[in-house]
Amino acid sequence: MEPYESDMEGDEQDTPLLPEAHREKHQTVHKAAVCCSSRYGLALLSCYAFFVVYSLRVNLSVAMVEMLNNTQKSSTNHSGSLCPAHNSPERPKHNQTASMYDWDSETQGWILGAFFYGYILTQIPGGYLASRCGPKWLLGLGVLGTVLFTLLTPLAANLGANYLFAVRVFEGIGEGVTYPAMYTMWAAWAPPLERSRLFSISYIGGQLGTVIALPLSGEICFYLDWTYVFYIFGAIGLFWFILWSFLAFDSPNTHPRISEEERIYINASLKDELAVSTNNIPWRAIVTSRPLWAIVVAHFSFNWSFYTLLTLLPTYMNDILGFSIQQNGMLSALPYLGCSIVAVLAGQFADYLRETCLYSTIRVRKAFTIVGMLFPALFLVATGYTGCNYILAITFLTLSSSLGGVASSGFNINHLDIAPSYAGILLSITNTFATIPGMVGPVIGRGLTRHNTLEEWQSVFYIAAAINVLGALVYTLFGEGKVQPWAIRTSSSHGK
């Protein structure tokens, strides 16, 4: 790795600055305290936001196991798996009072992927609206819409698979604006040398949502019935919206309770990185930016394996490893618990390397991307060869997802490095492409595993791993870490 230097140095980035010069440059901005700060308060609120949106995404994956009218289900709630069933300790009688449905594997795949058909529609509009109208209410109302449609899920399922598909599409439409809006907000709130820390706090909200929603959904299905999965998580989302309405603000300058010291610190640290005006967006420069397309490929590749596990892991646990509904949720959550822990540690370490060890931004981003994509691919392939050794299978799946958390401080935050003023728009573009795996992954995955053999699941894991490796390679070759010239032009330059 090379010593860190300012991302504003343009083509001089490969020429190391002396550590003394670097420190002198950044000593001009006095760092505001972290404890009780508004920027870290926003990080916690955004963590809660992503907890909500991910819990609303994944609860159907667990509930789906209970919604199916499978006549092979036994008293342990296990539906004839390839491996022997794992008996649970003696527990109260499993509640199965809710409606059940006769959906084949193809229908299941379409329903599990329906969310992403709506999600992809509002990515780019979300990035544009966030930059023009402000991110706070766009994000808040987007999540609120998802919550309301979540509460309608049991009714839609009773009406038929097509109605459930439509409700999930509308949920995706609401959630589609969340990431672009949040990136736009962080462009105004996150000092450059704190980006990895602040973003990783936000990022783990999604992992925690998965970690908690998977096992809790299993318990809710067991003690109540699957309909309460959507009612309970919907109520949690409504409470978040109330907090967000009163406590979140678009920028430090609009926050009524921020300290003057923190406001000055944030504005001063960003003054050379933000465009004078975002009214005229340099679309041509954006869509022809090579660093952006490097992120697109990495984001698409990473999400292929992520969404494959997110939507199909409960099915794999049930159909192959033989875990019952209450065991399924807990074990399916382990990979995401590991990911959330690793993501936080990676964020701290990435900013330490940049700020204290003076390594360049792009070297840190590439190193973290390589670790966060190649090693998960290796352990994902290894999972397919564990047979019925469920301890080894769960260990490999957990290692795969946990190491994926390293990428949160790699390509995943690179939008803020190359164009902080347009980070929301850049994220909306990359996330549009990265949503495609969520749309087609479950369909392909269920299509390849019609007979639930180990060989079929090995194919699913091989495909995800190969795509992961490709994404890491492309980003390593073409990724950059400096602010792009088109991202810091004045408003008069944009029209040229």
Cβ atoms within 10 Å, residue 409: 34
Residue 324: predicted pLDDT? 67
Q: Are 214 and 314 in contact (CB under 8 A)?
A: yes
Terminal CA-to-CA distance of the chain, rounded, Å?
A: 37
Give 440-454 pLDDT, tens digit per residue: 887 788 788 888 788
- Distance set, CA 357 to CA 15, 24, 352 (Å): 16, 15, 7
**CA–CA gap between residue 391 and residue 401 (Å, rounded):** 16
**CA–CA gap between residue 311 and residue 332 (Å, rounded):** 10
Q: 277: pLDDT confidence band, cut at 50, 70 and 90?
A: low
Structure tokens at 49: 């936001």
Q: What share of the chain is helix, strand, coil (3-state, %, to 5)?
A: 75, 0, 25
Higher-confidence residue of 325 and 120: namely 120
Domains of the chain: 34-68+99-269 (1.20.1250.20), 288-490 (1.20.1250.20)
**CA–CA gap between residue 481 and residue 13 (Å, rounded):** 9
Q: Please determine, for residue 1, whether its predicted confidence score (pLDDT) is greater than 60.
A: no
In the block, tokens 């916690």 appear at 44
Give 54-108 pLDDT, tens digit per residue: 999 888 888 888 888 764 344 334 445 667 766 655 555 555 677 888 888 778 8
Higher-confidence residue of 23 and 137: namely 137
Structure tokens at 124: 């780019």
Give 331-375 pLDDT, tens digit per residue: 777 888 888 889 889 988 998 998 888 889 999 999 999 999 999
Higher-confidence residue of 90 and 289: namely 289
Structure tokens at 404: 């994926």
Chain center to CA of 165: 22
In this prediction, residues 315-322 reach a mean pLDDT of 78
Q: Say what percent of the chain tops pLDDT 70.
A: 84
State the average pLDDT for the chain: 83
